[in-house]
Amino acid sequence: MSAQKSASRTKPVSAIGAFVGFVGFSALAGLLVTIGVTPAIAVAGVTTTSTIGVFESLPEYIEIGDLPQRNEIYAYANGKPVKLATVYDQNREELKYDQISDQLKNAAIDGEDKRFWDHGGVDMTSLVRAGVGSIAGGLGESGGGSTLTMQLVRNIKMQQALELPTQEEREKAYNDAVEQTIPRKLEEMKLAIGLAKKYSHEEILTGYLNIAYFGDQTYGVQAAAQHYFNKSATDLTPAEAASILAIVQSPNTRNLASEKNYEANKARRDVILKSMYAQKHLSKADFDQAIASNPKDYVHLTEPQQGCQSAAGNGAQFFCDYAVKVVKKMSQLGGTQKELDQAWRNGGYTIQTSLDINLNGQQKDLLNAHDPNTEARFALGSTMNSIEASTGRILTMAQNKDYDQSIKSPPTATSLNYSVDEGFGGSKGFQTGSTYKVFTLLDWLKTGHGLNETVSGTPRLMQSGWTECGQPYYAGGYTPKNDSPGENGNFTVARATALSVNVAFLNMAQKLDLCDIRDTAKSLGVHRADGGDLKSNPTSVLGINEIAPMTMASAYATISNGGTYCEPIAIDQVTDATGKKLGGQTKQCKQVLDPSVAATAAFALKGTIQYGTAVGAQTADGTPMFAKTGTTDDADQIWLVGGSSKVATAYWQGNTDGGKANLRHYYSGAGGSYASARADVWRQAMTPINQIYPGDAFPAPSQTALRGNSLNVPDVTGKTADEARSTLAGAGFTYVDGGTQAGGGTAGTVSSTSPGAGTLLSQGSSVTVYTTDGTQTTVPDVAGKSFDEARGLLQQAGFANVSTTNRYAKGDDGKKCTVANVRPQVGAAASKDTTVSLQLFGDQDGKAPKECR
């Protein structure tokens, strides 16, 4: 509930009742002042019969307590802390006594409570005057002789009301706090005396000036001075100090946020100035100058720049929002949710985050240029997230959309933070495409397989062959395709990784367990953005899980960091209002991969940049880097994730509304399609990062890591089918009959295998064996031979039909009548009944020599 809400007033009492009330009120006040707190009294005829019960049930003391203050959020720029945002429940900056100008102190005392330094919380003179005033019709707007201490009691109770959990409770408690009745006044008096016993006058005055509401959502004199005058409360003129204190009694009608309130403010201000002059706190010259001024002469209204909407830095608003959500859950602020909420509401914290505001701004500019939020043909979103590998610190969190928490945001803006999980930003994540293949690669290497091992990339019906948590998995009529048309054949795992061959990775997964692949991903911090369970079916290998971009950046940072995963960190340090450092998010790093596995994976992923799907991503500085691209089936989500040995960066583009707009078919103003530009955009993002965080060379993989536990396919060419079957079984492979093909050699013997001899395969892998039907033979090399010699060699090879052409090749005397060309060409396989045509050399003019027959 707003502190601006007007309190309900009780109806004026009758003249007789008021008089009796006055007598009882004065007598009670005298007792309180004379004997202290909670005497056993009975006051006849006080305004209500419940007064004694109310009085006896009241607590003796009320705590000034911690007041809600601003929380300051900081980022880094050029390695130094810079303010990112101010976030608060109430716009207040608490000051110490000696930080408040004497002008303000004098204005408060002279204007509200001239005998403040002399009484013990209740001023008898003012109280009697209030009693007389009540005869005329109630306690009045002045509140009935309230001292600053009594006003502080009222403000504390108002503040306590605003901190209650429900709107109904807040409204009731607030109205009770501001209600001007004699029972309420008795309560204020007793609590004021308690305050005066517990706190010094300086503490009470400081508490009052820090807690008071000054209109326009501004609390305390420091926030008021900044808001209305754009200066500190330490440096106010007499006129400014009096103008601020003039607001207290009527913050709605006397605040300086609107010129229509200037006249009312000035009227009350002048009363305060006259009192300051009468109390000799102003010289005649200072008084004359102040009284002659108008609020318009010194009001410099400054809008409070509060909340992440007003965060400094280009595109830093989404990170600010995330950081606030993170810090509000940190144990440093409390052990229960209620304590956490209360601590953050009380504020006064300085939060140093991990954000590099310059790098973040550069990435925001990149996204603005290449993924403009003005794209009107479909709902285009994009993010850049960079993670420091050795710590998990979040360096950037850029987004193409502008930050807007409005109920209805414009198309160029959103309240959703696409970078993070649903619980921290509202986004449910995005399918990762082939960037998820890295977890199959890592599990492949963990189980002893090597990069040089060969797998098939040829599309086929894949109904079975997978294992999920130790149980066979049946995929039905699953016929996956590769991203590039016509992509098939055998691939080494290294090449399949660089070229992102879908079927090759599905064949790799058949030699693993789908649950192990899932658990490998989990060990690198991977989880669904919506909090659900990671899927572990065959299609999950190709990236169907919806994951937040920051999660993917953090997972890839594990490879950068030699296999050590560090949980993402947004908060470096929290400092409370007293200056005590409470610590930041704890660095939580764990070795989840053998360093050799991480190094081998980095080696494979470097191929993506060198000759694979991310050519163009290499920075000019030559920093060793690795990457993996990802594209969903409809190309509606596009990814590139990778990094150096120091920083990992995830770049995501995609449809944000569930649409299927193909990013390969839409072109941005920066040139090229959205999808085709990803390598270049990622390169531009990594270039300044490499300057600040220079990357090192990755360890070279060992020959063992390259080979793994794979076996060489033996050469069975020329063997019978039975001999080949026995040889392959003995070598640890499964024989597959590829059938008979037209070929040379002895019919029924092996002509070739797939994969070929010398290829590295996993133990138990299938080798397809092809046998020859003996109908073909190979054209021998007969160049330079005489016709008779050539014919003899061809006949020996199995060719019965040999002829010569009518045209001769130009030759010299040494070559005359010898073979110049052969059709079919030398080395070609051809049917034995094929006619082999020979061209002979003639003379220098290409004419037939007489001696040739």
Q: Which two tokens stand for residue 827?
A: 């080395």
Domain end: 730, 746, 774, which one?
774
Q: Which two tokens stand for residue 209?
A: 């000036």
Same domain, 817 and 744: no
Please indicate whether residue 685 or residue 348 has the higher confidence score (pLDDT): 685
Same domain, 830 and 716: no
Q: What is the helix (H) or strand (E) element at residue 571, kind and residue range? A: strand 571-575
pLDDT in tens, 524-570: 999 999 999 999 999 999 999 999 999 999 999 999 999 999 999 99
Same domain, 792 and 755: no
Closest CA to 804 of 841, 852, 837, 851: 837
110 occurs within a structural domain: yes
How sure is the predictor about 108, in pLDDT bands with cuts at 50, 70 and 90? very high
Helix (H, G, I), strand (E, B) or coil at 607: helix
What span, in angstroms and rounded, lies between the C-alpha atoms of 762 and 267? 92
pLDDT in tens, 575-632: 998 999 999 999 999 999 999 999 999 999 999 999 999 999 999 999 999 999 999 9
Same domain, 735 and 814: no
Which residues lie below 8 Å from residue 553, measured CB to CB, with a gap of 6+? Answer: 385, 386, 387, 641, 643, 648, 649, 650
Please indicate whether residue 521 or residue 65 has the higher confidence score (pLDDT): 521
What span, in angstroms and rounded, lies between the C-alpha atoms of 60 and 190? 7
Q: Which two tokens stand for residue 347?
A: 């504020």
Helix (H, G, I), strand (E, B) or coil at 605: helix
Same domain, 723 and 756: yes
Same domain, 730 and 784: no
pLDDT in tens, 416-430: 999 999 999 999 999
What's the 3-state SS for 333-378?
Answer: HCCCHHHHHHHHHHCCCEEEEEEEHHHHHHHHHHHHHHCCCCCCCC
Is the pLDDT at 458 greater than 70? The verdict is yes
590 occurs within a structural domain: no
What span, in angstroms and rounded, lies between the C-alpha atoms of 719 and 246? 107
Mean pLDDT of 351-376: 97
85 occurs within a structural domain: yes
Is the pLDDT at 41 greater than 80? The verdict is no
Q: Confirm if 770 and 751 have CB atoms less than 8 A apart.
A: yes
Same domain, 762 and 827: no
pLDDT in tens, 286-336: 999 999 999 999 999 987 767 888 899 999 999 999 999 999 999 999 999
Domain that residue 829 falls in: 779-840
440 occurs within a structural domain: no
Q: What is the CATH number of the domain that holds 212?
A: 1.10.3810.10
Same domain, 806 and 745: no
Same domain, 74 and 179: yes
Domain end: 728, 755, 774, which one?
774
Q: Which two tokens stand for residue 781?
A: 């090399």
582 occurs within a structural domain: no
Number of domains in the chain: 3
Sort strands 71-77 and 80-87 into parallel, antiparallel or unpaired.
antiparallel
Same domain, 762 and 784: no
The secondary structure of 515-528 as a DSSP string is HHHHHHHHHTT---
What span, in angstroms and rounded, lies between the C-alpha atoms of 238 and 276? 9
718 occurs within a structural domain: yes
What span, in angstroms and rounded, lies between the C-alpha atoms of 349 and 340? 13
Q: What is the CATH number of the domain that holds 761?
A: 3.30.10.20
pLDDT in tens, 257-286: 999 999 999 999 999 999 999 999 999 999
Is the pLDDT at 9 greater than 50? The verdict is no
Longest Cα–Cα distance of the chain, Å, equals 156
Number of H helices, E strands in the chain: 28, 29
120 occurs within a structural domain: yes
What span, in angstroms and rounded, lies between the C-alpha atoms of 201 and 192? 12
Residue 69's pLDDT is 79
456 occurs within a structural domain: no
User: Model's pTM, two decimal places?
Assistant: 0.75
Same domain, 761 and 792: no
Residue 145's pLDDT is 64
What span, in angstroms and rounded, lies between the C-alpha atoms of 135 and 47? 12
Same domain, 42 and 72: yes
The secondary structure of 34-65 as a DSSP string is HH-S------TT-S-TTHHHHHHHS-S-----
Q: What is the DSSP letter of 417?
A: B
pLDDT above 90 as % of the chain: 68
Domain end: 242, 273, 298, which one?
298
